[in-house]
A and B are shown apart, each in its own frame.
Chain A
Amino acid sequence: MTAQLNGRAVVRVENLHKSFGDLEVLRGIDMEVDEGQVIVIFGRSGSGKSTLLRCVNFLEDPTSGTIEVSGIRLEGGHRTHHKREQIRRLRTRCGMVFQQFNLFPHMTALQNVREGPVTVKGLEARAARAMEPDVMLFDEPTSALDPELIGEVLAVMTSLATEMHMTMMVVTHEMGFAREVADRLAFFHEGAILEEGTPAQIFEETRYSETKRFLDAVL
């Protein structure tokens, strides 16, 4: 199902705006992710990284702008009945890994994985088989994990990218992962993409002082 998408953008974001009340979180984002590409999105808390990701599969409704995933093209703004159905279709093309892990504090991580909600077992596996997402959205997947697990999760993500050639949008501060795996990096600053480029461009030829300062703090 990915063959006919070859060389084309799987995700296309055009002039995306998102406001929460008076607070403008995204101020016109344009972004394209081609098939098999891995894009790492980084930036300070509140810069709009997570919001962008959540707008891509409409967990947040964009205030205005356009989202396109695997040819399903949707405008921001109010939800109509037809649009709701389209959103559902779009979501089946996206896999998502969340920021908050909801781990049971009294169990080890292993138990947490094994003893997931019994009731949804069969369903999820069925849904998974039907799904095979065209793009995976990672919303700070490692931010709530201990160092050992961070390594394991990053290893899985790396193999997803390099072996399975999964198209991925990753919000993370794991700059080692970004340097090795990402095709492109986007630095978010105050709701806009301040700087975008290959890892070499971002790390070696940093153009903006904000990016530099942030990288210095993280690295």
Chain B
Amino acid sequence: MTTDGTGAATRPPFTSEPDQGDAGGPGRLDRWAHRSASVPFRLKVAFVWIGIFLVLGFLFWAAAFDRGWIRDNIWFIARGLVFTLAMAAFGIVLAVVLALVGALGRLSRNPIAYGISGFYTSFFRGTPLLVQLFLFYLAMPRTAANLFDRFQNFLPQGFDDFFIWTSFQVGVLVLGLNYGAYMTEIFRAGIQSVSHGQSEAADALGMTYRQKMRRVVLPQAFRVVIPPTGNEFIAMMKDTALVSVLGQSIESMELFRRAQLLGNADVKPLEALVTAAGLYWALTAIFTFFQSRLERRVSRGYVRAAPGGRRARERGKVVVTGSGGGERGAPSGYVLDAPESPEVPLGHTHAGGTGVEGASDPDGEAP
């Protein structure tokens, strides 16, 4: 890295520069800035990172950092990543489901649906995640047990035991509920980003609410919602560490807890916590990388000559779409020849088919 010709070689020998004092004219700083301009920005940033790591490394060395301890224990701690990933994976699935239902509730004119989703988002966004974890881990089984005592004759056997959950189960539930509440707003915005004309066209086709949402609105909303959902997943992976506070059952051998237990036992808190932090960091770095690729991919869908579009063109097909097509001047969902295939081959549509794509362009070449 430092041997890069344009980089290190052109770095000026800063300290050996004679002091220009107040001689006037272009001073030392000006010349420094001038030479620095030839170094690529990213390379400079890399130097900054290296510098930070060197400083930290020196501090750790000075603090008698025990690398051997990390070597001995990192694999044990790293096995906690399975817990982290599993909990975040289940949690995000639950969160997506809740966010979808919550968003539809927030957009509903039904007072019950609106009220419930409003309470849900308000409570889970308005209270700390840590409090929610304890609420479901400790208070929920207590409540169930008390109810069972009082209404023993009406409640089924084992009602109280049913609500004693492991910390893993509580973690999935609470992370899902909490993130679902935040993601409700993301999903609501995503649904609202689909133009009103699309949903009106679906109405005009005589679709039910369910059909309209499932077939027209939600597929377009998901395009908007996928990148922020990935971000939430990454954030959730880090918040799984909070579940480590919920007792010591075998499921709670979560990454952070493993690090803490080992670190405390050997009195190596620095080593243990640095290991835990490094593992979380590596995990999120990997997913952030995929996330940025995903975002580029999703945004590409709206750029001219997108791959999907090109493939569609090569097949030489044109499709009469009701909601989309209707807005583009085509009769809503109405194909003149009512073809067998859902896709109408270009040039075989009656009198120009959709009305806009025009029979004047039978070879399918865009002007």
Interface residues of A (CB under 8 A from B): 57, 59, 88-92, 94-98, 100-103, 106-129, 131-133, 136, 141-142, 145, 149, 152-153, 155-157, 159-160, 163-164
Contacts and interface: CB of A to CB of B under 8 A. Distances in A.
B347 to A, nearest CB: 13
A133 B155 CA distance: 56
Interface of B: 195, 197-198, 200-201, 203-208, 215-216, 219-220, 304, 306, 308-309, 312-313, 318-336, 338-339, 341-344, 351-352, 354-358, 360-361, 366-367
B58 to A, nearest CB: 53
B219 A120 contact: yes
Contact of B197 (A98, A108, A145): A98
Contacts, number: 186
B206 A92 contact: yes
B334 A57 contact: no
A91 B328 contact: no
Given A156-B352, A159-B351, A95 B325 contact: no
8 contacts: A59-B200, A90-B206, A113-B356, A120-B322, A131-B205, A136-B331, A152-B355, A160-B331
A116 B328 contact: yes
B204 A94 contact: yes
Nearest to B218: A119
Contacts of B203: 59, 91
The 9 closest A-B pairs by CB, nearest first: A91-B206, A119-B219, A116-B324, A125-B342, A92-B206, A156-B355, A116-B321, A113-B357, A124-B322
Contacts of A129: 335, 338-339
Contacts of A164: 336
A127 B204 CA distance: 12
B205 A112 contact: no
Contacts of B325: 113, 116, 124
A123 B215 contact: yes
A87 to B, nearest CB: 8
